[in-house]
A and B are shown apart, each in its own frame.
Chain A
Amino acid sequence: MYVKKRRLGRGVAIVGAGVSKFGSFSDKTSRDLFIEAFNELKQSVDRGIDPKDIEALYLGNHIGEYCEGQSLMAPIIAGYLGMIPKPATRVENACVSSGVALREGIIAIASGLYDIVLVGGVEKMTTLSTEGVTDALGSALDALYETPAGFTFPGIYAAMATTYMDKYGAKEEHFMKVAIKNHNNGALNPKAQFNTTIKDIMNGRIAKAKQKGQPIPTWVDEMEFLKDPKANPVVAWPMKLFDCSPITDGASCLLLVAEEVAKSFTDTPVYVIGTGQGSDYPLYEREDMTTILAAKFAAQEAYAMAGVKPEDIQIAEVHDCFTIAELVGIEDIGFFSPGGAIKAIEEGLTARDGAKPINTSGGLKSKGHPVGATGTAQAAEIWLQMRGQAGARQVPDKDISLALTHNVGGSGPTCAIHIYERR
């Protein structure tokens, strides 16, 4: 694959980040969620930000039409932030909507057009039933040739999983181990929708059965719990309930500035030194269904721009919308060889205290996946980890100088990768 070494016209840095609580909030709209994230962002800018100085907004939002009957979300949010009449643009690229919003913000600053840009994303999903969300997210598949075949979003990743199992010998247990790991991290993230380990979920069910005088389940550990179809029913085999990221309300945002003014906001900016974006066919047209070309291409472009290699990156947030997606993702970004993710998860290499910590935030699986907000929420986790502000889930090696985010949309037809540096 030919990848051109591209460069930004000038450097770009993150000087603030905010994330709302992720979960199910019947009394909150997208606007409320985004304001919650923005208020945290304002607090995070060490020398402060006057919102009047923000010059443009790029906002990721995927299914606002389905969930709230609302398209054209960006100017509405801008109106709540006091940004009128400045430009506000919605970016819709499925689950990579805010990953691409981040990229558009970077490009706008690198071009010299703006110095200070707000990027972020929001999704308010719990207004819909599970069936309604399945329908809405299904619109990101190929509506002419995948949905008539009955494919859902979990279904298409499940199909990818069957080819991965066939080619590399992965078992259902390997997918389950991804879920256990990410919940272990999410249990330490107070913003996470499922702020608990799978073991604690299991113990909670046992306690509840005892309390109600029902037959007491005999699960000895979380793996047995996950293998019990009553506890962990199939959604689209081999993907089960605990292989799937949840339906989530949430928002996230980042303050991007030109490198030359970054130090006027903070002594410890996080520089974005690589950005890449790629596209791919629907799953059925891909030469190899165990990898996502859009991600490999985006990663290679980002690595080339940053001038770093996969082995240089210390931590990453990887798009685990389904557990299979994390295994494929850590191979596509070059951390492990094709099929090598199986051994990596078996040996705990991607755990928070492993050689390559993946998804210290809890990932989409445990933290939650408000689709339009996910890309910039991943970057917000990197911002905390790189500044040593991640609290109980801070990685043991506090000196993180290089990190990466991998944000995939749909079944993989679109992907954005970013590489971050702390100097």
Chain B
Amino acid sequence: MVSQKEFTDAAFNQLLGEGKLMASRCKKCGALHLPPKPICVNCQEGDMEWTILKGKGKLAAFTTIAVGLPRMIQEGYGRDNPYCSGIVELEEGPRISARILDVDARNPQKLKVGMPLVVDFLERGEGENKRTLLAFKPV
């Protein structure tokens, strides 16, 4: 499943909208870049290809946020209703920041670094403002 899109943020987001979490891979050294980068930061080569990731990983770092961004406050989150953001380490190696869903953000002590997660896609906005956000949830 290879995309011909350029290695841009717009392309990454379009692919998320299609339910695909995709990275760029350097054809020369094999290094994976997530989010995708057009130049390999390992060997500085510019010959890249898209590769789809399985969407399985584990929680590498997290927080439950009580004082959120304005956008999250608009979604109804706040001091009495915190949300969880985390960094997920994928089976293929790279890490990415994502919303962590379906966890009890009021009891962060119960969340554990290393817990297995699977990818999910959050739809936000409508029409031209429609955007798919990357999320993960417990297996």
Chain A positions near chain B (C-beta within 8 angstroms): 130-131, 134-135, 138, 142, 144-152, 154-156, 158-163, 166, 233-239, 282-285, 289
Contacts and interface: CB of A to CB of B under 8 A. Distances in A.
A159 B67 contact: no
Contact of B97 (A131, A151, A162, A237): A151
B67 A163 contact: no
Interface string B99-118: 10000000010001110000
A236 B63 contact: yes
Contacts of B112: 166
The 7 A-B pairs of least Cβ separation, nearest first, read: A158-B63, A149-B97, A159-B61, A166-B113, A237-B108, A150-B85, A163-B61
Given A159-B85, A166-B113, A285-B95, A138 B108 contact: no
A155 B65 contact: yes
Interface of B: 9, 35, 60-70, 72-73, 79, 82-83, 85-87, 95-99, 108, 112-114, 133-134
A238 B66 CA distance: 11
A147 B69 contact: yes
Given A147-B69, A285-B95, A237 B35 contact: no
Nearest to A157: B63
B45 to A, nearest CB: 18
22 contacts: A131-B73, A134-B67, A134-B69, A142-B97, A145-B96, A148-B97, A148-B133, A149-B86, A149-B99, A150-B65, A150-B83, A151-B65, A151-B97, A155-B65, A161-B63, A162-B62, A162-B63, A233-B66, A235-B67, A237-B63, A238-B63, A283-B87
B9 A144 contact: yes
A289 to B, nearest CB: 6
B35 to A, nearest CB: 5
Contacts of B72: 150
Contact of B79 (A233, A238, A285): A233
Nearest to B124: A148
A163 B82 CA distance: 20
B97 A284 contact: yes
A237 B64 contact: yes
Contacts of B114: 166
A130 B66 CA distance: 12
A289 B67 CA distance: 23
A144 B35 contact: yes
Given A145-B35, A233-B79, A289 B65 contact: no
A289 B69 contact: no
A289 B87 contact: yes
